DNA sequence: CATTTCACCTGGTGGC
DNA sequence: TGCCACCAGGTGAAAT
């Protein structure tokens, strides 16, 4: 579901509501183990910790947790998958279906993880033995021109597939891959290694600007995405190609086409993107 | 190796 | 109304 701008919006919203708060009690749904660590050990690790900060890294949400006496600092890492949501509620708020985790906080608030399709992941790390979470790929908001270009050099896959590869860049998903390729005027199926220096630089700038614009508008709410306080984003109103198959291109009037690239729906304007 | 395909899940939508 | 095929913001394992 969520890509970089949505995850950024959620992390900011959650951070504003829970930073400095203390986790009093943790509940996990019994039917599924959330990630590498079993639910029980995550709960034990989380309880009694103070949440120092909640921030985004790639598509991951990292909750930085204070040490408790002998235990060192820790992190709770949340990946929302396709349909995951991280909500701050009151304990009395009705518990909706597919709620997998509830963290009761000292302030009286509750942090909930809800995820119908269960593609999301939860991980607890104690920083004594494990290293702090780090994304594999580079951050598209800050990457420089030469670093960006070198990511794609000599690669034989499509530029769309390369943008989606989290080992190269962290945080780009289907919406923003399509939207940035449109802004840069590049065909999604074009071979990544054959892009010119000029095209790569157009793409880097387009990607950064489309992500920044989307963050400014609170992300894209395509179906049921909501931020921490249940507010929808508005960037879906700015989509120029994503899910606009058969609609007129807003630049040239030609029809937006849908193809499958890298196993994903891919939308582009055949006239504007070469 | 690099690249592609598929399975993992549930729910919504649109055609018949 | 019901049934069914298809689609969905992601990712990692298996296959090529």
CA of A83 to C1' of B9 (A): 10
CA of A246 to C1' of B16 (A): 23
Read off φ and ψ for residue A86, nearest 5 degrees: -120, 115
Q: Which two tokens stand for residue A258?
A: 């849908």
* pTM summary value: 0.95
Evaluate if the CB of A117 falls below 7 Å from strand C. yes
The burial of A237, by beta-carbon neighbours within 10 Å (0-12 exposed, 13-18 middle, 19 or more buried), is given as exposed
What pLDDT is stored for residue A128 in this prediction?
87
The widest CA-to-CA distance across chain A, in whole angstroms, is 65
**Tens digits of residue pLDDT in A153-180:** 999 999 999 999 999 999 999 999 999 9
The span from the CA of A216 to the CA of A22, in Å, is 30
Domains of chain A: 4-126 (3.20.190.10), 145-268 (1.10.8.50)
CB A7 within 8 A of CB A61: yes
pLDDT at A1 over 70: no
What's the first-to-final CA gap in chain A, in angstroms? 28
**Tens digits of residue pLDDT in A201-229:** 999 999 999 999 999 998 998 765 556 66
Which residue carries 């900011």 as its tokens? A12
Evaluate if the CB of A57 falls below 7 Å from strand C. no
CA of A102 to C1' of C11 (A): 24
């Amino acid at each position: 579901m969520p890509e970089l701008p949505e995850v950024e919006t959620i992390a900011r919203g959650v951070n504003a509501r829970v930073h400095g708060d203390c986790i009093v009690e943790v509940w996990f749904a019994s039917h599924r183990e959330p990630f590498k660590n079993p639910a029980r050990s995550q709960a034990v690790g989380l309880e009694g910790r103070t949440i120092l900060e909640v921030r985004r890294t790639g598509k991951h949400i990292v909750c930085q947790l204070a040490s408790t006496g002998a235990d060192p600092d820790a992190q709770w890492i949340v990946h929302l998958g396709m349909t995951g949501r991280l909500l701050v509620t009151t304990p009395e708020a009705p518990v909706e279906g597919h709620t997998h985790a509830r963290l009761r906080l000292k302030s009286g608030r509750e942090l909930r993880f809800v995820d119908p399709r269960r593609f999301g992941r939860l991980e607890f790390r104690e920083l004594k033995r494990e290293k702090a979470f780090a994304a594999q790929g580079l951050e598209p908001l800050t990457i420089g021109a030469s670093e960006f270009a070198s990511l794609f050099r000599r690669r034989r896959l499509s530029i769309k597939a390369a943008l989606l590869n989290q080992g190269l860049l962290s945080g780009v998903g289907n919406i923003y891959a399509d939207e940035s390729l449109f802004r840069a005027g590049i065909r999604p199926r074009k071979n990544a290694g054959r892009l010119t220096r000029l095209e790569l630089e157009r793409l880097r700038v387009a990607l950064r600007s489309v992500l920044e614009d989307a963050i400014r508008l609170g992300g894209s709410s395509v179906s049921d995405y909501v931020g921490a306080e249940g507010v929808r984003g508005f960037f879906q109103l700015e989509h120029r190609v994503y899910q606009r198959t058969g609609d007129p291109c807003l630049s040239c009037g030609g029809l937006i086409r849908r193809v499958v690239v890298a196993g994903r729906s891919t939308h582009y304007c055949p006239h504007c993107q070469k």
